[in-house]
């Protein structure tokens, strides 16, 4: 959903930021809520708009659906490459090309990073500061997914 919302905002010339916390604790969640509550209210008053009117919600849902479809294509490509002997690690760029979405390389990298961080059997090796250098493969091959 986050990536879909970011895409919808970007498509409509709206800027966004992403904040990452090292550990989710009651304190860090409370701090984030307080930060955004104040930032939204303050900024809205500066530019004289209603901060709680949400015209982009539907666009965000549509964009999120597109991100999920891209994630499914990425997984299919990784599954196919991981079922070969020997396993064929792919770069993010190679995955983007095989997805027929070279313009989506950043989104593909974020999808892979998210799945790897959430124990989704994705193994990503390389320098995360240089996404094009990252090699990716599935930790386990699922042949059933190839023909689903």
Helix (H) / strand (E) containing 66 = helix 57-82
Tell me the domain boundaries of the chain. 1-47, 67-138
Residue range 20-33, pLDDT digits in tens? 888 999 999 999 99
pLDDT confidence of 147, banded at 50, 70, 90? Answer: very low
Identify the bridge partners of residue 123 per DSSP, sorted by sequence position: 137
User: Domain 67-138: which CATH class?
Assistant: mainly alpha
CB proximity list for 81: less than 8 A, separation 6 or greater: 87, 88, 89, 90, 137, 138
């Amino acid at each position: 959903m986050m990536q879909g919302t970011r895409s919808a905002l970007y498509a409509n010339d709206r800027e966004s930021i992403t904040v990452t916390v090292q550990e989710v604790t009651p304190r860090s969640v409370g701090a984030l809520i307080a930060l955004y509550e104040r930032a939204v209210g303050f900024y809205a008053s500066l530019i004289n708009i209603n901060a709680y009117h949400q015209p982009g919600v539907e666009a965000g849902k549509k964009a999120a659906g597109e991100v999920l479809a891209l994630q499914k294509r990425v997984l299919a490509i990784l599954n196919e490459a991981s079922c070969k002997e020997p396993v064929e690690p792919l770069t993010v760029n190679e995955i983007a090309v095989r997805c027929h979405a070279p313009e989506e390389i950043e989104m593909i990298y974020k999808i892979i990073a998210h799945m790897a961080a959430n124990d989704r059997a994705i193994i990503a090796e390389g320098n995360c500061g240089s996404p094009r250098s990252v090699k990716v493969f599935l930790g386990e091959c699922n042949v059933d997914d190839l023909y689903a």
